[in-house]
Chain A
Amino acid sequence: MLGRSANGIYWMARSLERAENTARLLDVGFRMALTRGAQAAREEWRSVLITIGQDRAYCERYTDYTGPQVFNFILRGPDNPSSVLTMIENARTNARSVRTAITREVWEATNESWMVLRALLARPVRESNLGEVLAAIRAQTTQVRGAMEGTMLRNEIYNFARIGTFLERADNTARILDVKYYVLLPSIAWVGSSLDNAQWETVLRSVAGDRAYRWLNAGSLEPRGIAQFLILDGRFPRSLVFCYEKIRSNLAGLARQYGQETSAHELLRDAGSRLHQLGIEDIIERGLHEFITEFISGAIRIGNTIAADYRFIE
């Protein structure tokens, strides 16, 4: 396949994943705002902006963190180059430019996502319809993923799409941890207050892991367990280990089809073995923050290496 097409499908998948993850973060922020009062809500909105790397752009324009202002900026801000609407447009533009690499169903699902969300985001979103908008973003992106899963050949094209999806997802989970790591650190102040409980739940909700975690842990919330769950639990589809395993198997697919490995395989093997050797105790002992920072830059390196190895651009 063309290097440009590999690039296109990779970014199409990444953009959709990013849009979906952003919707999830907004959901959590919104929930905080409804349940925790103004101060906590402001903090949460700010941390959402920081997590997705838009705090600086936001501050260039606004001085305070009010809900509708924040979520409108993130969803559809005309001067926000990473808004959800822009992500969906990017996904569609990429899908259009790799039209021959995707099935008709994938294209139509992507095109429809764009039509539906463009219409929903044509006017400022009010608190009363934020829930509807966020649900639509999740539903539309899920539909595209479903069409990919159900109709695409399991070949190089699919591999590049999946690599894009899971690099983005890993990056997202890591960024949430990066912003919230202090909540999960053992602290002398910790007495199991309801505030902490709410913070931990927020972290889990941001990756749609609250139900799964409670189910696995008989309802008890505990920071170490949450960190372990988000980083190392191979059963949870948004954990770092799970994402890495998916990237690994898709890179292996490429090696099988092309009859050779590239430097990206090497890089991933190293990162993977580090991840597998560590227990949560090691991670916390060496510093959760350092671990996450290193993980994020490692993921960026892997993305860049894949782009170079497979000639995404000239």
Chain B
Amino acid sequence: MQSTTRATYDEMLDPDGAVRPAYAGFREWYDAQDKNWLKRQDAEAERFFRKTGITFNVYGDDAGEERLIPFDMIPRIITAREWRKLSRGIEQRVRALNAFLHDLYHRQEIVRSGRLPARLLHGNAAFLPQMAGFTPPGGVYTHIVGIDLVRTGPDEFMVLEDNARTPSGVSYMLENRETMMAMFPELFSQIAVRSVSDYPRRLARSLAACAPKGASDRTDGRPVVAVLTPGIFNSAYYEHAFLADQMGAELVEGSDLRVIDGRVAMRTTQGYQPIDVIYRRVDDEYLDPLSFHPDSVLGVAGIMDIYRAGKITIANAPGTGIADDKAIYSFMPEIVEFYTGEKPILQNVPTWRCSEPEALKYVLDNLKDLVVKEVHGSGGYGMLIGPTSSRSEIANFEKKLRAKPDNYIAQPTLSLSTVPIFTKAGLAPRHVDLRPFVLFSPDGIDITPGGLTRVALKKGSLVVNSSQGGGTKDSWVLED
């Protein structure tokens, strides 16, 4: 493997400066607009978001002040042809993830066959012994998946990360589109963009399809679905409320729930009412103080027993985190092939496992060119980006890496593709990634066309995380 350094792929302009077909319609519209009017619209967008309350809390921030994730009004555009290939790859990957999880919690054929080292499971906190031998209702583990993709060339989308626990950001996908349609309605009558607004309804349908058989007590037979949130101080509370609202589901907190008569039930004004499907936005370890973190007040005491008795569906299933572990990630090509019998359509980013001596040696020798991540880290914290780090930062990180190599993987510094953002000086290219959202149920796989585009607003920056100065864009998939 070699770390690559090559020209950045810009999604709007080709190397000669000509507009690529995906952006032709948009550029025609953009060039005809009065730029001062666009600046005013840009300010208007921020006001709109504040008014709607689409805010998030940054942990560790003083007084829990609510912040906005900056929104950039230039859309990220994907052609129908590109999307077809992407969706095939995503579908393949999600099926493999689900089959992999079922196998891990049952016979572990992939370990027996020698394709996956057993040490990756043992002692891994994301692997839950409580799930062993149990099959969730409908056989579904990953009801909702967010696949983080990066683009490095015309036909090169790579998977950076699989989010199989509780991927967030879908409310931004939906609100960004609403904002764009409110600000620039004519754009959507001129250019045929595939709609995303159906997502909450599809999510509700998909979750309902995973309900335990015969569980519902409702007279109309429709399962009772609830969204479990840690509460209003959680950074993604807005999204939890938004989704519950859009699905017509109850938004519950741990304190609303109790196990009563062998069911998980919520305290309503008329007493306790059983729930069939719980879309939890609470991490595994807080889900049940009896099974996991004993101090947790965010979950429901005894829910795991009810779950294992088949009386409630938990989405996503507990223990799915093992599938998006960064150490497991490096085995995804093998995993896809093992369960689907096909070559992976979407590539992994080349990954060095620092637990392997040879890989470690390479990583240590090339730290200044690599991105090194903690195996269990997330949100862009605890990582080293070699090319933009100082000599002393690299030296410090090297100490940590040598002390605990198992804790790290390394990847080449990818030249993420760029898409223009709107600045006072006009359009300027910035690096982006893409998180499409995938629903999985016994009825099939449902991928919403588009997803969340995150953009590094600082010139040259490769960190797109909202907690570290990233913004978002509306993501368009064009109609055929």
Contacts and interface: CB of A to CB of B under 8 A. Distances in A.
Task: Point out which of A100, A104, A156, A160 has the most chain B C-beta atoms below 10 A from its C-beta.
Answer: A100
B268 interface: yes
Interface in B331-371: none
Contact of A2 (B52, B231, B245, B256): B256
B232 A156 contact: no
B22 interface: no
Contacts of B231: 97
B241 A100 contact: yes
A111 B267 contact: no
B51 A4 contact: no
Interface string B251-264: 11101100000000
B269 A115 contact: no
B232 A2 contact: no
Nearest to B244: A100
A310 interface: yes
Interface string A69-96: 0000000000000000000000001001
B271 A2 contact: no
Interface string B224-250: 000000011000010001101100011
B241 A96 contact: yes
B50 interface: yes
B266 interface: yes
A115 B271 contact: no
A258 B273 CA distance: 14
A301 interface: no
Given A2-B252, A97-B232, A100-B250, A311 B53 contact: no
Contacts of A1: 250, 268-269
Given A96-B232, A160-B269, 14 more contacts: A2-B269, A3-B268, A3-B269, A4-B256, A4-B267, A97-B231, A99-B241, A104-B52, A108-B51, A108-B53, A111-B53, A254-B269, A258-B269, A310-B269
A314 interface: yes
Question: Can you list the 8 inter-chain pairs with the closest CB atoms, starting with the nearest?
Answer: A99-B241, A310-B269, A100-B245, A100-B251, A100-B244, A3-B267, A111-B53, A6-B269
B256 A3 contact: yes
A2 B241 contact: no
Nearest to A156: B269
Contact of A115 (B50, B237, B242, B249): B50
Nearest to A112: B51
A65 interface: no
Contacts of B241: 96, 99-100
A107 B54 CA distance: 12
Interface in A122-136: none
B255 A4 contact: yes
Contact of B250 (A2, A6, A310): A2
Contacts of A156: 269
Contacts of B232: 93, 96-97
A258 B269 CA distance: 9
